[in-house]
Amino acid sequence: VSDEPAGGDGDGDVLVVAEHRRGDLREVSFELVAAGRELAGVTGGSLHVAVIGGNVERFGHALSVEGVWTVHTVAVGEEFNHDVTVQAVTALTAALDARFVLAPHSVNGLDYAPALATRLGVALVPDVVAFSYDDEAGLTATRELYGSRVAATVSVAPDRAVVTVREGWWPPATTVDQVPVEPFEAAVEASAVGSRVTGFVETSTDGVDLRDADVLVGVGRGIGDEEGLAAVEPLVDLLGAELVGTRPVIERGWLPPSRESGTFGRAVAPDLYVALGISGTAEHGVEVRKAKTVVAINHDRRAPVFRVADYGIVGDVREVVPALVGALAAANRDDENSG
Ligand SMILES: Cc1cc2nc3c(=O)[nH]c(=O)nc-3n(C[C@H](O)[C@H](O)[C@H](O)COP(=O)(O)OP(=O)(O)OC[C@H]3O[C@@H](n4cnc5c(N)ncnc54)[C@H](O)[C@@H]3O)c2cc1C
């Protein structure tokens, strides 16, 4: 570890670990900075950002966001590596005496955050959607459990923690390019690095690009079977929509993986999202929260999807969808006759 002091007084300091993949910063890095800024605002500490991996100096200026004290570039390893990240963040946390480390609740974040918390000897609070803080009670974090049906508040004692932050939850912070960017030298023990990236395999997109889709129809397990999916197609056609499915729908092979909701990120923001037989857990999709109008059809009036829906129909999709198709077709005919 470098002898140079890395800044920060440890008094409520927050360290955010940015994420990059194959040469690009992921947008969740900017959401994390926004979350970290909020947390540092209430703890009264300073906000630091770490970016770890090969050639990471190039990300320093992009991560220079208002409210950040210093961006620390830790040029070790190449692509994301669990052991390298744990060692580097442990060293930087110690150098800063940071009390809270924020990582994304992503595949990579979930990979290293538990090991990091163990190494630091602090609590791990995963999948956080809100914070509050006061000097007496310390950090209280809100998590959603059981498919978003239960909101749990977690008090952290002693007052240090590794927190993974839900993707797509905080609005991303924007670059201002006025923050010091400093290299941090973490002495990574090569013998403790047990894995390496040997290559990447692109998943097929089947030519599907949903960024321009104005209307998405999302289908969930509640459509029942492939016949249920066929019954949805007239609605998709009438709305000029693209079809997406939840993970159980993809796992059953009813739709290809390229159409899995929750995997498109923020770039997909339709005007209308129609959720059919979807319970509506938070993981099921950023694009739902980004949609201007959400219509949900579910036979369980307590389904979490109704919390994000602008219009909800409590009913069986096998009855409601044909009724909607009939009504839309009739409305189209009326338009044609009057036009
Ligand atoms: C780390 C993590 C990441 C995840 N990422 C994703 C992701 O990217 N994308 C994703 O989709 N999921 C993801 N999941 C899974 C996610 O949490 C949910 O389990 C999944 O989205 C639920 O899919 P569903 O709504 O189709 O099924 P269910 O939760 O089983 O819901 C089915 C719904 O259909 C309703 N229903 C049943 N029959 C009818 C009927 N006849 N008429 C009307 N309504 C009916 C039921 O009331 C129920 O609400 C992730 C989970 C984890 C832990």
Cβ neighbours for 263, distance < 8 A, ≥ 6 positions apart: none
Model confidence, pTM: 0.71
With a cut of 80, say whether residue 206 has pLDDT above it: no
> In this predicted model, what pLDDT tens digit does every residue of 109-148 receive, in sequence order?
999 999 999 999 999 999 999 998 888 888 999 997 776 6
Ligand 1, atom 11, residue with closest C-alpha: 246
Token pair in block for residue 264? 């498109």
Which residue's entry shows tokens 């857990």? 281
What's the DSSP call for residue 161? Answer: E
> In this predicted model, what pLDDT tens digit does every residue of 4-51 receive, in sequence order?
333 455 577 999 999 999 889 998 999 999 999 999 998 989 999 999
Give the pocket of ligand 1 (CB within 6 Å): 147, 220-222, 246-249, 260-263, 277-279, 281, 283-284, 297-300, 303, 316-318
With a cut of 70, say whether residue 259 has pLDDT above it: yes
Ligand 1, atom 3, residue with closest C-alpha: 283
Token pair in block for residue 283? 């993981």
Residues in the chain: 339
pLDDT tier for residue 204 given thresholds of 50, 70 and 90? low
Counting ligand 1 atoms within 8 A of each CB, the residue from 235, 243, 281 with the most, and so the one to mutate, is 281
DSSP structure string for 238-269: HHTPEEEE-HHHHHTTSS-GGGBTTSS-TT--
Average pLDDT for 272-288: 82
Residue 57: half-sphere exposure toward Cβ, Cα within 13 Å: 6
Q: What percent of the chain has pLDDT over 70?
A: 91
Cα separation, 86 vs 117, in Å, equals: 9
